[in-house]
Each structure stands twice: as structure tokens, then as C-alpha cells.
Amino acid sequence: MPELPVTMVLRKIPAFGLLNDRDLLALADALRRRHLSLGAQLFEQGDPGGTMHLVTQGELSIRWQEGVSEQEFEVARVGAGEFVGEMALLDLGPRSASVVARRECVLYELAVEDLMLLEETAPAAASAVLASVTALLTDRIRHVNGQIEALLGGHAPADAPAANATDSGVFGRLWSRLSKS
């Protein structure tokens, strides 16, 4: 399957689809294309962070190693149009999991230094990245909260927001600002 230009891939991601052409190109220019072969490791749990990756082709396995037994578990799979490594982009902390290619992959990497440069040169593009990361992390936290409730046998209160309620709060305000620019 032929590879789509990164700008076309970015347009399909909701927050990036709202960017004007200039900001979208600035974001595309900030990304570095990477290729991973089947079985290749993108990073290992505990490695220094500082980059996130957008998968445009292929599939990655997210693996977490339990400290005491050193047993490794696949905790998620990430495919085209999804991000990995976003937490380390925000806090520069060590990687919380290892990532391995389940299939041959094409990724686009964004380093924290490039995000900081985008904040100066194309603030709407930097805001879109942060809005996307915020939405992703919020969805993941809600998912984990649901798993915890299920394990504890609890039920969500009737007035709890839906698991995909990304149109409210800070994200909603950011999204609103982006859509007006």
C-alpha cells in the first residue's frame, strides 16, 4: 500500500484537521519519519523520554514489565492514526512501557524541542498537539478508571460523564479556540 503524505494523515486526526495549511505544514516539518521492521523495539520501559510518535502504518505492541517477577505483559496495541510515547513528551520522565513493532511500521516522531519551537513559530499547531495528547490521556484515564471499577465491583454514578466526553473542560476550550483560528 502506498504511503500517504504526512499532511494527509495529520488532516485525518480531529485536532490537526482544524489547522490552516501553514500550521499543518509547520507541524509536518517538525516531525521526523522513522521506520521500524517487524519485531524492532522503538523504546524500552525505563528509557529516557522526550519524544512521541504518530503511527501512520503498521501496528505496535505496548509492553509493561512487572518489576518483581520481571514478567512482561502486552497491555495495548497501537495502529495507524494513533500516538505512543505522549507522556514522556509532556513530563520528560522515563518510558512507562516498552514498544515493539508487531508489523513493519512507519512512524513520525515529535521531539519536545520541536514542540517548543512550534509554540514560538506555529502556536496553533503546538496547541493542537497538546489538545490531542490531552484527549488521548483523558480517554486512557477514563478507561483505566472503568477497569478499576469493574475489578472492585462498583458502578459509575448516573451523572458520570461518558468515557469519550472530550468536548468539555480544558480540552473543549482548547478545541473551541482551535476551531476559530
What is the domain extent for residue 146? 1-30+122-181
Contact 55, 99 (CB under 8 A): no
Is residue 101 a part of any domain in this protein?
A: yes
Buried b (16+ CB within 10 A) or exposed e, 163-181: eeebeeeebeebbeebeee
Which of 85, 111, 137 is where one domain is finished?
111
Cα 158 off chain centre by: 30
Residues 99, 147: one domain? no
Calpha distance 167→152 (Å, rounded): 28
51 and 74 part of one domain: yes
Rounded to the nearest 10 degrees, what angle do helices 112-121 and 123-152 cross at? 130
The residue behind cell 521531539 is 111
pLDDT of residue 72 exceeding 50: yes
Quick check: is 88 in a domain?
Answer: yes
Q: What is the pLDDT of residues 113-154, one digit of tens each?
A: 999 999 999 999 999 898 888 888 888 889 888 888 888 886
Helices (H), 92-122: 112-121
Same structural domain, 160 and 102: no
Domain count, the chain: 2
Residues 55-61, mean pLDDT to the nearest whole number: 94
- pLDDT tens digits, one per residue of 25-36: 999 999 999 999
Domain final residue, candidates 111, 135, 164: 111
171 within some domain = yes
Integer Cα distance of 58 and 139 in angstroms = 22
Q: Is residue 117 assigned to a domain?
A: no
In a domain, 116, yes or no: no
State pTM to two decimals: 0.76
Does 3 score more than 70 pLDDT? Answer: no
E strand or H helix at 53? strand 51-57
Same domain flag for 107 and 129: no
